[in-house]
Amino acid sequence: MRLYTEHAVGRMLPSRMGGSIISPALVEEASATGPTSTDVLDGVTRTVYTSGTVQVIGEQGGRIVVTVNPFSGVP
């Protein structure tokens, strides 16, 4: 089971509701199959999953989705 923060859920809302229109299925796919990198922020290890047009930031090995972002693949 994966938990989502309020911020992550807000980012998945339709744009007319202030979100980024990132579907839950795309978030799950990125978390399950996307390449990963890790970063430590304020002593908390975060995992970044990237797949196609979405970037998912998670904690506790991906069990908690902190946020989701549109991703262009261009640095």
Predicted pLDDT at 7: 94
Q: Is-contact 65 27, C-beta < 8 A? A: yes
Q: Please give the Cα distance from 47 to 70 (Å, whole number).
A: 16
Q: Is-contact 8 65, C-beta < 8 A? A: yes
Predicted pLDDT at 34: 87
Q: Please give the Cα distance from 10 to 21 (Å, whole number).
A: 9
Predicted pLDDT at 21: 85
Tens of pLDDT, residue by residue over 58-70, are 999 899 999 999 8
Q: Please give the Cα distance from 55 to 70 (Å, whole number).
A: 6
If residue 9 lies in a helix (H) or strand (E), which one and from where to where? helix 6-11
Tens of pLDDT, residue by residue over 24-53, are 899 999 998 989 999 998 999 999 999 888
Q: Please state the pTM of the whole predicted model.
A: 0.85
Domain range summary for the chain, segments of one domain joined by +:
3-70
